[in-house]
Chains A and B, each alone.
Chain A
């Protein structure tokens, strides 16, 4: 996967606004887990927002992304739906992705609902082999699950629909060390099994050093205000 010539301004209407990103290009190995580090406010979450096609309509965006051999170019300041439909995200506050009253299994099924829910039974959940390997009681309401189990659920829900790029915003920030390691061990398996490229924003240097295996990037701001991404 490659991001080509990313140029971005938050407000396209004001002429004097500086570019937040200017000509940024970066390449990620396909179907691999990558870590992105950087100071707060440097633009990691903004990059995720752009990849999800959720930037403001008044912003300026010029970029293209090649993913699995297909080139997608931003149109009208946003990446096209054909690209963003293949991108799913697990937010730092993963609780907003869950329906607490429903069971683990029902949540997986609900994540698989079509754009317009129909008068048909809930769709079948996928990735049940991975769910079985986690040893979680799938009939337990989500409200009664531990933080780690809820994080696993949010991750599996994000992967219910066909995904080629998975964005994780600090997935281990609210987890203890043991659960953080479990998540990190699961991610490379998911990337390989589902042929999905995974980008993770992570501030935990110890985790990055342990699990990055050469796929670590550092985003920083230059003196002229533009951002660069360096391979670490």
Chain B
């Protein structure tokens, strides 16, 4: 039982930056940001290259550099997809698909299809006080830092602006506020956070694989929909939603595993779950906002 709780906690912390990023793009900005799948891989590759290239640096400093590299790697994907949307005037779904293809090609050029991290030191084990879960404390520290920063961000002008964009994308042009700045910075932040998660996942599993991002958007949507169903608050936005949603998602996954369910079918289960919830929402709330088509 305790081991299951630790596993859920570990999975929650590994995916928390990705989920908070997805919350910013899917739920606040309300854009179908598929580029997070690409940012997840680019972040993993950037972090891994930083790890391999600077392995002689003390681990406490190295982890900061690695997280910075994966943050920038992810943000770069977000920059490309959001620029295509804002300056190229493409729908964001198309922009993120183009960005995905573009970065997949770049990844194939700069990185092997499978890169092992097993031979290098693991900065996530810097505080290995729990022998069976040596990465847990470091992951918790990173998660707390990220959540703390976002808690602060959501109390500022830019945090509110992200939520306003999802509520009414036309809002800003009436008051001399840059819509492009709000959109581009929001998508960059979302993708940058996905990049951090990508590195942490790769480090935890000791490998980077070019297809490791596939299905992450569906994972995020499922967790956010679960979070939306559980967290009932009146505020326009809250960090509790992605956190509770992620915890619920991995609890459900572990419970299914416990009763002998084969996890290779779990993607189909989560797709069906999303489908059922969306069908229910669409038919019970016909008056929902037009731009609320993602259901999160």
Q: Once the chains bind, are A110 and B174 in contact (CB under 8 Å)?
A: no
Do A111 and B175 contact each other (CB < 8 Å), given the known contacts A120-B156, A123-B157? yes
Partner of A121, one of B157, B177, B181, B236: B157
Partner of A118, one of B156, B167, B170, B289: B156
Check A229 for interface membership: any CB of B closer than 8 A: no
Instruction: Give the interface centre of B163, B174, B181 by most chain A CB atoms within 10 Å.
Output: B174
Check A5 for interface membership: any CB of B closer than 8 A: no
Residues of A within 8 A of B234 (CB): 141
Q: Once the chains bind, are A160 and B164 in contact (CB under 8 Å)?
A: no
Check B160 for interface membership: any CB of A closer than 8 A: yes
Q: Once the chains bind, are A101 and B157 in contact (CB under 8 Å)?
A: no
Partner of A100, one of B157, B168, B177: B168
Partner of B158, one of A98, A117, A158: A117
Check B182 for interface membership: any CB of A closer than 8 A: yes
Check B66 for interface membership: any CB of A closer than 8 A: no
Q: Once the chains bind, are B174 and A119 in contact (CB under 8 Å)?
A: no
Q: A102 to B171, alpha carbons, bound, how many Å? A: 12
Residues of B within 8 A of A101 (CB): 163, 167, 236
* Contact indicator per residue, chain B 144-188, by CB within 8 Å of chain A (1) or not (0): 000000001101111011011001101110111110011000000
Do A113 and B157 contact each other (CB < 8 Å), given the known contacts A101-B163, A101-B236? yes
Residues of A within 8 A of B155 (CB): 121
Q: A174 to B175, alpha carbons, bound, how many Å? A: 22
Q: Once the chains bind, are B175 and A96 in contact (CB under 8 Å)?
A: no
Count of chain B residues with Cβ under 8 Å from any Cβ of A?
25
Q: Which residue of B lies closest to A109 (CB)?
A: B160
Q: A147 to B171, alpha carbons, bound, how many Å? A: 18
Do A99 and B167 contact each other (CB < 8 Å), given the known contacts A114-B177, A161-B175? yes
Q: Which residue of A lies closest to B166 (CB)?
A: A101
CB distance from B115 to the nearest CB of A (A): 36
Partner of A97, one of B171, B177, B178: B171
Residues of A within 8 A of B236 (CB): 101-102
Do A99 and B177 contact each other (CB < 8 Å), given the known contacts A117-B158, A120-B156, A121-B155? no
Q: Which residue of A lies closest to B168 (CB)?
A: A99
Q: Which residue of A lies closest to B289 (CB)?
A: A100
CB distance from B174 to the nearest CB of A (A): 5
A-B contact count (CB 8 A): 81
Partner of A99, one of B153, B157, B171: B171
Q: Once the chains bind, are B170 and A119 in contact (CB under 8 Å)?
A: no
Residues of B within 8 A of A91 (CB): 174
Residues of A within 8 A of B289 (CB): 100
Q: Once the chains bind, are B176 and A161 in contact (CB under 8 Å)?
A: yes
* Contact indicator per residue, chain B 253-296, by CB within 8 Å of chain A (1) or not (0): 00000000000000000000000000000000000010000000
CB distance from A111 to the nearest CB of B (A): 5
Q: Which residue of A lies closest to B170 (CB)?
A: A96
Q: Once the chains bind, are A96 and B168 in contact (CB under 8 Å)?
A: yes
Q: Once the chains bind, are A110 and B171 in contact (CB under 8 Å)?
A: yes
Residues of B within 8 A of A77 (CB): none
Q: Once the chains bind, are B177 and A113 in contact (CB under 8 Å)?
A: yes
Q: Which residue of A lies closest to B169 (CB)?
A: A96
Q: Which residue of B lies closest to A123 (CB)?
A: B157
Q: Once the chains bind, are A98 and B175 in contact (CB under 8 Å)?
A: no
CB distance from A65 to the nearest CB of B (A): 18
CB distance from A201 to the nearest CB of B (A): 17
Q: Once the chains bind, are A118 and B175 in contact (CB under 8 Å)?
A: no
CB distance from A230 to the nearest CB of B (A): 31
Q: Once the chains bind, are A113 and B161 in contact (CB under 8 Å)?
A: yes
Q: Which residue of A lies closest to B157 (CB)?
A: A117
* Contact indicator per residue, chain A 34-59, by CB within 8 Å of chain B (1) or not (0): 00000000000000000000000000
CB distance from B207 to the nearest CB of A (A): 37
Residues of B within 8 A of A161 (CB): 175-176
Check A64 for interface membership: any CB of B closer than 8 A: no
Q: Once the chains bind, are B175 and A116 in contact (CB under 8 Å)?
A: no
**Which residues of B are at the interface with A, using a C-beta cutoff of 8 A?**
152-153, 155-158, 160-161, 163-164, 167-168, 170-172, 174-178, 181-182, 234, 236, 289
Beyond A110-B160, A113-B175, 4 additional pairs, beta carbon < 8 A: A96-B170, A99-B167, A111-B175, A115-B178
**Which residues of A are at the interface with B, using a C-beta cutoff of 8 A?**
85, 89, 91, 96-102, 106, 110-123, 141, 157-158, 160-161
Please list 9 pairs of residues, one from A and one from B, whose beta carbons are closer than 8 Å in the complex, sorted by A's number: A85-B176, A89-B174, A100-B289, A101-B163, A102-B164, A117-B161, A120-B156, A121-B157, A157-B174
